[in-house]
Structure 1
Amino acid sequence: MEIERINDNTVKFYISYLDVEERGFSRDEIWFNRDKSEELFWEMMDEVNEEADFIMEGPLWIQVQAMDKGLEVTVTRAQLTKDGQKIDMPDDIEERRKMFSSDDANTADFDEFEPVFDEPDVKKLEFTFAFNDVDELLPIARRLMYVPIESALYHFENKYYLHVSFDDLLHSEDDVKDNTSIISEYLQSSPLTIHRLEEYGKEIFKQDALSNVLYYFG
């Protein structure tokens, strides 16, 4: 992990997805599993504290930017006014993309923790694909190993169904087109909705289906 001390109140660090995996986390986990993302974040902050002598006190502003091969995280200790109420927000607030927070009272005083902005209203784009054998997912899982896609796997009426969803916070329209095109190279599109699969189908993997298929069948 690369650490850069910007000033007395701000530190920036970069962690590759390879480093993330070596620490025991998957790429899907850090985007879609809140507990795992928080665990990774505070593990990294412990390392930052040791190497950059950055003490976590009071409210923190946290910016996480997804890069091609890893994550760039900027952490700023928010400054309070003399009355102890108003927090001066970082200048680049409009560029904030994702927040981590923690319920662990031992790491910081989270009664004073203030988010940069309310969690955005994320739009979901969902797709369902049908196929005959789980092994057909393996080449897809390998090609999309490092793409943060929500995926679920069901069995219904003698066929398997892969349901995937993208959100507009992490994926551009081109990202969605590119990734669904990869899946379409191997599987057939299906009109079945996730609601019907959940109600009538047999659940195999409710989440992280592609990662699980690669782990158990790859």
Structure 2
Amino acid sequence: MKMERLSTDKIRIYLTFEDLNERGIQKEDMWREIPKVRELFNDMMEQAYSELGFEASGPLAVEVITHPAQGMIVIVTKGSLDHEDDFSYSDEEVLYEMEVTMEQSHMVSYTFLDFEHVITVSKLLKQFIPEEKGTLYSYEDQWILQIDSEDLEDDLFHKLIALLSEYGEATSLTQSVLEEYGKTIIAEDAIKVIDSHF
């Protein structure tokens, strides 16, 4: 579990599927008010306080974004909730109320330390993934290839993940983070562009 402060009232937490499995939580459980999810959230808030000084009190908006290969991103924002709470606790020791929203991203993001690996992966991917796929970013001395997997059938999706995992490492960086803090190298059709130029 990794976390970072986005502003005074907002933090972002990266949860891998391994983090969830260790606690016996499936991603579908994140929707439900069950003790394991509550315990996970309490642990996240304790860690956020100790690492970032982020104190979870009052109303909290919690946005959970699932990524097919990387895990989940949880964005916690302090402030007033606009409408009825979807998710609240009544225990006296809990000082916050939560409104949870879930969304699923189909973006698969992998980071590569060497551009040669990006070239190799692109040449292998073009054999079975539509060439009109991929965006390439540069971020903190690494290359990040992001591919929308929404229209891929299961077998192609598993091939994609296997191949990307062989040369790179899954990352939880979102498109918005990469666009804001990284540099867009190839905005679209990255697989095709890289294959044709290298």
TM over 0.5: no
Bigger Rg over Cα = 1
TM-score range, shorter chain: 0.3 to 0.5
What is the TM-score with the length of structure 2 in the denominator? 0.43
What is the TM-score with the length of structure 1 in the denominator? 0.39
